Chains A and B, each alone.
Chain A
Amino acid sequence: MDRRDALAKMFGAKGVRVNTNRGDEYYDSLRKKIEKRLSELRNSPAASKVDIEKVLDAEGLSRRDFMKWASATCAMLMLPASFTPLVAEAAELINRVPIVWLELQDCAGNTEAILRSDSPTIDELILETINFEFNETLMVAAGHQAEEHLDEVIEKFAGNFICVVEGSIPVGAGKEWCTIGAKGETFEEHLLRVAQNSAAVVAVGTCATFGGVPAASPNPTGAVGVQDIIKGKPIINIPACPANPANITGTILHYVMTGQVPELDYLNRPKFAFGYRIHDNCERRAHFDAGEFVEEWGDEGAENNFCLYKVGCKGPMTFNNCSIVRYNSGTNWPIGAGHGCIGCSEPDFWDKYAYERPMADANIKAPTGGVEKTVDEFGLGLLTAAGIGIAIHAFASAAAGKKEEV
């Protein structure tokens, strides 16, 4: 394949295409559906006593702050701006949908990310009003009492609650070493029992989605993701290590709003968050296009925030919205701190995308079918040649232009 064709294919690859304009007819019917759903929710009893208005008040945040958040979230969900009031309403009604949060074979990093350590203030407040019927870390009950509570929740909200799962599930030899609760259920049994009764399962973090670090070679415990265990239930995968809280709130909000799972890609990831590559919106992208790279840590390129591709950044093959949403209330993100993307939202990234290795050495089969490898083998030499970067840019733009016409 011609080098330029390869590049054009990379930037025009199908996975990159997210249809952000579906036409009036689609949005009109969606609006009607959402309005109906929200009015039903409004008439149903609140599952938790916390009210977002009061919480905002207590925090000294105005209605205006809240609407600003709603409009940003609306954009993140790739809905037209006119849907902002509906997003706001859904956020107010989020306490009508009970959530059970299970921690399996994990490091608690996602709970940490979402419930404690980061997320924009309002996202976090909304999560506070979410009715976490069961979360080991947050609830007051413990031990047997907690277990009874879980049984009650499953029965009372059967078919209506969202089951959020953090952590992978060991199914290999010695799986009986991972047990939960006084009955000594294996993680698999526990997950099956809870998920069976849920409305939908949200797998949060790369362990729950694709097995994550426990599944890294040689996968000593035979760890797998939720989608390998649960069949016949809607599953939404929100990978990344840790998953971005904005994406978790966004997904839950989408479910509250529509009663449906958001549009997913072939790995069951919501397209609103995983429809683009890190690379597509990276703040250092201009340096890539101009052929300006960090050649080694601490060099002049590093001081000038050049592109990290050559020190192993996996941004060009990683689908996630970190470059837009960032982390810790938007304070920063890994590339902002000068570390390349490690591809943490892709399956098997521990074995394929790991550290600092230039991609050509990393034996990567990229999500778009290996195109990236071609680009790496041919492209890297190409990129270093002066002036060629501009040609790439031209190709990328051409591909983007074509996309819009479709």
Chain B
Amino acid sequence: MKKSIELIEKIEGEAELHCAYGTDGRVVDAQIQFTSARNIEKILQGRDPKDALIINPRVCGICNHAHLIATVRALEACYKSVKISQKSQICREVTLSLELIQSHFKWFYLTIMPLLGFKPAIEKALKPSRIAAEAIAAFAGQYPHNSYAIAGGIVSDITPIELINAKERIEALKKLFKESLIDADPALFKECDKIETMLKHRGDMPLAMAKIIENGWQMMGKSEDRFIVFAEGAFKKGKSIGTRVSTNISTGHIKEESIKRSLAKRVLYKDRGYEVGPLARAMLMKTALIKESHRKYADSIFSRILARVCEIPQLIIYIESLLHRLDLSEESWIDPGEFPKRAVGAGVVEAARGSLVHKVEIEEGVIKEYNIITPTQWNLGSGDIEKPGIAQKALIGLKNSDPIELVLKSFDVCSVCTTH
């Protein structure tokens, strides 16, 4: 048995992938390890709960906004009841969705395209990210790292001018999507259920998908075929084993397990690993195109990549429908009253890479315990050969000549988030 160590950089932060190969040249075990940590959960202990709203976005520069919204939801869950105006609810959903969109663009162009042998198109990644960030800033002040959401609503009083600024940028994103990713109207993605129809369009997404098929990689990277989604909003909550959906899930069944030699922990739901992220979300929402892809190629890199890119038009439509309902005359913030001295709360959001869970325990008015469970922990947390993690399972069985890095990165690794 031969051991080899691959370093995976070019993700946010650094992680190591150790593959062990069998005599037939196939991966028999893959261990993913994360090599840096900041211990943010420890830093939060003993602090005023409101401090978490500023500290937590800094867990990750990539999905900082998801951390902010998860925090505010966890804090709101500590109250007996909190009323939030529809306006602040909409603003939070819009900024969160914008963060997802820009992350999907970046991941596709900076991570996936180069691995498929295409020239890195930095500007195609940077431009939509910049525009989406500006749209977020119109609501929230700046991006990355803002703290505009607080228990009871948001701090900003959006004016029609800021709204126009944001809408203009959302239009621009729509245009960029058509220009660079796929020359099709976002509405098409609502009903289209033929992969061939999709591939006939012009754009980098069909190019990439065709390349995967051309290389014969479309069945690679299959994992447990179990999916879980915790947050609603743009998506549907529930778990899906294969295509069998059940909506009755609770964050109470989530358990973290330490991993040997790594600073990250793996996560299980009722003792089983689940895949989180765009593919999981599409399975729960029964998105026609992705269901078709799943029927043909199962939970392979093909389905995973397609699902993530196809979330962009879905989110754009979602944002547009939200903004249509936005009433600026509503209150931004409704006083939730004194923060409870003793409470527990959990907040969930769907971040770009999947479900993000924050759990907080308050005692004597300060944070006693804070627990952050990130999407990468669900997908990348390693187990042992009997009970491998999601990405681990996808890697086992691959040959050295197979696109090992692509399979791993189809989950999108975020090490800063994972070790926090």
Q: Is the CB of B142 within 8 A of A327?
A: yes
B114-139, CB under 8 A of A: which get 1 and which 0? 10000010110110011001101111
Q: Which residues of A contact B155 (CB under 8 A)?
A: 297, 302, 337-339
Q: Among B57-65, B228-236, B266-274, B293-301, which stretch is in contact with chain A? A: B57-65
Whether A47 is near chain B, meaning CB under 8 Å from some CB there, is no
Q: Is the CB of B43 within 8 A of A116?
A: no
Q: Which residues of A contact B120 (CB under 8 A)?
A: 140
Whether B30 is near chain A, meaning CB under 8 Å from some CB there, is no
Q: Which residues of B contact A110 (CB under 8 A)?
A: 61
Whether B195 is near chain A, meaning CB under 8 Å from some CB there, is no
Interface size on A, residues (CB 8 A): 72
CA distance A309 to B390 in the complex (A): 49
B64, B139, B141, B331: which has the most chain A beta carbons within 10 Å? B141
With A139-B10, A180-B14, A218-B42: A118-B130 Cβ-Cβ less than 8 Å: yes
A225-245, CB under 8 A of B: which get 1 and which 0? 000000000000000011000
Whether B374 is near chain A, meaning CB under 8 Å from some CB there, is no
Closest B-chain residue to A181, C-beta based? B7
Please provide the chain B residues from 34 to 80 with a CB less than 8 Å away from any CB of chain A in the complex.
Answer: 35-40, 42-43, 47-48, 50-51, 53-55, 58-62, 64
Q: Which residues of A contact B97 (CB under 8 A)?
A: none
Q: Is the CB of A297 within 8 A of B333?
A: yes
Q: Which residues of A contact B333 (CB under 8 A)?
A: 297-298, 302
Shortest CB-to-CB span from B280 to chain A, Å, is 24
With A128-B122, A328-B143, A331-B138: A221-B61 Cβ-Cβ less than 8 Å: no
Whether A124 is near chain B, meaning CB under 8 Å from some CB there, is yes
Whether B102 is near chain A, meaning CB under 8 Å from some CB there, is yes
Q: Is the CB of B144 within 8 A of A335?
A: no
Please provide the chain A residues from 316 to 362 with a CB less than 8 Å away from any CB of chain B in the complex.
Answer: 327-329, 331-339, 342, 344, 350, 354-357
With A138-B122, A355-B50, A355-B53: A109-B38 Cβ-Cβ less than 8 Å: no
Q: Which residues of B contact A108 (CB under 8 A)?
A: 12-13, 60-62, 416
Q: Which residues of B contact A124 (CB under 8 A)?
A: 126, 130
Closest A-chain residue to B85, C-beta based? A298
Q: Which residues of A contact B89 (CB under 8 A)?
A: none
With A115-B126, A298-B334: A339-B146 Cβ-Cβ less than 8 Å: yes
Q: Which residues of A contact B102 (CB under 8 A)?
A: 117
CA distance A246 to B39 in the complex (A): 30
A99-114, CB under 8 A of B: which get 1 and which 0? 0000111111111110
Q: Is the CB of B138 within 8 A of A332?
A: yes
Q: Which residues of B contact A48 (CB under 8 A)?
A: none
With A107-B60, A137-B12, A223-B38: A331-B165 Cβ-Cβ less than 8 Å: yes
Whether B313 is near chain A, meaning CB under 8 Å from some CB there, is no
Q: Which residues of B contact A113 (CB under 8 A)?
A: 61, 144
Partner of B130 from the list A117, A217, A241, A350 (CB cut-off 8 Å) is A117
CA distance A297 to B332 in the complex (A): 8
A-B pairs with beta carbons under 8 Å apart, 24 shown: A105-B38, A107-B60, A109-B58, A117-B102, A117-B130, A128-B122, A136-B10, A140-B114, A178-B36, A213-B58, A216-B43, A217-B43, A221-B37, A221-B39, A242-B145, A297-B152, A298-B331, A302-B157, A303-B157, A305-B157, A327-B142, A328-B133, A332-B140, A342-B147
